[in-house]
Structure 1
Amino acid sequence: MKYRTFGRNNGLRVSEIGLGTGLLGTHPGVDGISRPGEGTAHARALFEAYAEAGGNFIDTAEGYQGGESERLVDQLLGKDREDFVIATKYAVGATRTEGHARLGNSRKAMMTAVDNSLRRLGTDYIDLYWLHAHDAVTPIEEILRGLDDLVRAGKVLYGGLGNFPAWRIARGQALAAQHGWAPVSAVTHEYGVAERGAEREVIPMAEALGIGFGAWSPLGSGFLTGTGTEEPRLPHWTRTGRPTTADLAVREAVIEVAARHGATPAQVGLAWVLDRARRSPTGIVPITSAPTADAFRENLRALELSLDAEDFTRLNGAGDFVLGEPHDHNRVGEEYVTAADLIRPAIPAA
């Protein structure tokens, strides 16, 4: 496993694959929709497989398994805590039984949640603290100022936003620069060959502004791991938990490319994201997991898999994904506004 800085506006070094811990713990579920996860033995085996491969980036959240995921991360890291980057999130609560004042993006919810997460994680600081989802009502100024206060207090080292629209992130970054607040260091969105929506606005924004990008559920909650007989791991969160005909076509292409390379579909799905990451001017990190430690070790062999131009043509053309407007218009009209011999910058213009 190699390492990268998580974007260009910070020096945080993370491994090129992150470990997602959404199903670490045995909480019975929330509102009947969250699947119970796995217990301590499974968590330990999964963590050891990840650490043996050189992984150092662990992503959790207050809402994962009713807070049990954070407690397990504390147990797993123990005395090695300083060698790992811990990312956790707030906004949705730990149990979904919290009152309105403790939910959403508000400063009050933030300050309450961060102390609870610090206690469950058994640490006095969080490396990366990001919002789990935007509530569409809390001003971005309040969010960024709150994260800045946590950074200044030493409770958080870096702040980030999860599942926010690109325009809100970009505006927040501009306000942070204007007021001298801690910047938006990272964003996280679902991203993989089966869910490429982030390519429209979020990834170009992150690349232009130097923000790290955490790609959660790069395998579509298990959608890209096999033939479709497997139970989705997080069907209510990922769009491919309700696959369309186009989604099924993408999975068929993944299976076909895997057979060509003697690889697994999961390895191909991860290799596709890793290739995108290696060509990006900012830090793109797939955040993933697996039902068993052996399966996780197998998936991590994607680091050794090289896809060729034929593979990318097959994978990228399998579904019905299009960038849409204004991208399509600008691509068609490029000849009128850009000289053919113009050398383009490696980093997109913001």
Structure 2
Amino acid sequence: MNNTNPGIVLGTMGFGTQVDPDTSFALLDSFVAGGGDWLDTANCYSFWADPSGVGGASERVIGAWLRARPGARDSVRIATKVRQNPLVPHVWPESAEGLSARAVHAGMEESLERLGVDHVDMLWAHAEDRTVPLEETVGAFGELVAKGTALRVGAANHTAWRVERARSLAREQGAEPWTALQLRHSLVQPRPLTPLAEGGHRHLTPDDLDLAASEGLDVWAYSSLLWGSYTRPDKPFQDIYDHPGTTRVLAVLDDIADEVSATRNQVVLAWLLHQGIAPIVGVSRVQHVEEALAARDVRFTGEQLARFEAAR
């Protein structure tokens, strides 16, 4: 993987829906004050929690924060996504915008308007759209980079072979290729081949890591703290994590957290960072922002890393 790993990324999925604007502003302020700079959002966030039935709330809150904080745009880099926003309120996935050239360009234009910016630093294809020729999608993303409205482009929730095919097509077209992957990943692993309850989610696989290593792609991980399951008794791990490997990993996690004087969450985030993976952290309290950013200072010995590997 390349050396542009963004470190801890602030996930803003709940901004404007599950997280009120004032709290969202406080989280953004704390993140920037602590040295964080990458914000991750999407044009569809969070349509399932918004009475309107469509996305856009998260981007609007970020845009309002940028207007209220003169100069803040110079301190943050913004990543957003197109593909999943419903075109018909409350009708998803049937009316999801998709990845046609028209949808990609329209989605980008609307995101820029909500954010109040002239470009984003990363635009993700939020999920595959196999109803559209990949050549068309790749061309549309390349056009946005050529226009300067997206500085980089990446693929979220795509299979490794589709990403590599898209990169080949980009080379043929002379277009900017996808240079980053975003997938679900954490320290504990689900049982192999277990279906996911969350629509659109896709786990990071060894093939994804192989592709990233060989091609110098960034890797971002969402749901890295598994919705609080590492630390909150009221948020138990999902059934797909109910296997002996999880028990082993959690035992090692507790031992190493004690050894490095860090919380479980900090150790998980530090472990991901050590792998060269940028964890996206969604939070609703300022103290959680501070806890996450402190994970950057956690260091492991080779022996501790070997214990993690043996447990997994």
Same-fold call, TM cutoff 0.5: yes
* SS of structure 1 residue aligned to 2:122: strand
1:56 equivalent to 2:37? Answer yes
Match of 2:229 in 1: 223
Match of 2:76 in 1: 84
One-letter amino acid of the structure 2 residue matched with residue 212 of structure 1: D
User: Compared with structure 1, are the counterparts of its residues 108 and 99 closer, same or farther at alpha carbon in structure 2 (3 Å cutoff)?
Assistant: farther
| Matches of 1:157 and 1:201, distance apart in 2 | 26
Q: Aligned to 1:156, which of 143, 150, 156?
A: 150
| Matches of 1:96 and 1:151, distance apart in 2 | 31
Native 8 Å contact 1:61 1:69 kept in 2: yes
Question: Alpha-carbon deviations, 1:226-255, whole Å to 9, x = none?
Answer: 1x51437xx9xxxx5743223344334322
Match of 1:189 in 2: 183
User: Compared with structure 1, are the counterparts of its residues 241 and 146 closer, same or farther at alpha carbon in structure 2 (3 Å cutoff)?
Assistant: farther
| TM-score of the two chains, using structure 1 as the length reference | 0.75
Deviation at 1:53, TM superposition (A): 1.4
Match of 2:12 in 1: 21
* SS of structure 2 residue aligned to 1:130: strand
Match of 1:116 in 2: 110
Native 8 Å contact 2:99 2:132 kept in 1: yes
Match of 2:63 in 1: 74
Aligned CA-pair RMSD: 2.4
| Matches of 1:316 and 1:124, distance apart in 2 | 44
| TM-score of the two chains, using structure 2 as the length reference | 0.83
Native 8 Å contact 2:227 2:235 kept in 1: no
1:206 equivalent to 2:180? Answer no
| Matches of 2:16 and 2:240, distance apart in 1 | 25
| Matches of 2:111 and 2:221, distance apart in 1 | 22
Unaligned stretches of 5+ residues in structure 2: 47-54, 191-202
* SS of structure 2 residue aligned to 1:156: coil
* SS of structure 1 residue aligned to 2:183: strand
One-letter amino acid of the structure 2 residue matched with residue 259 of structure 1: D
1:244 equivalent to 2:242? Answer yes
State percent identity of aligned pairs. 29
Deviation at 1:302, TM superposition (A): 1.1
One-letter amino acid of the structure 1 residue matched with residue 165 of structure 2: R
| Matches of 1:139 and 1:244, distance apart in 2 | 39
User: Compared with structure 1, are the counterparts of its residues 20 and 244 closer, same or farther at alpha carbon in structure 2 (3 Å cutoff)?
Assistant: same
Native 8 Å contact 1:219 1:266 kept in 2: yes
One-letter amino acid of the structure 2 residue matched with residue 17 of structure 1: I
User: Compared with structure 1, are the counterparts of its residues 99 and 189 closer, same or farther at alpha carbon in structure 2 (3 Å cutoff)?
Assistant: closer
Deviation at 1:276, TM superposition (A): 1.1
| Matches of 1:101 and 1:189, distance apart in 2 | 23
| Matches of 2:249 and 2:283, distance apart in 1 | 20
User: Compared with structure 1, are the counterparts of its residues 98 and 318 closer, same or farther at alpha carbon in structure 2 (3 Å cutoff)?
Assistant: closer
Match of 1:297 in 2: 290
Unaligned stretches of 5+ residues in structure 1: 1-5, 27-36, 278-283, 320-350
Pair member with larger Rg? 1
Match of 2:50 in 1: none
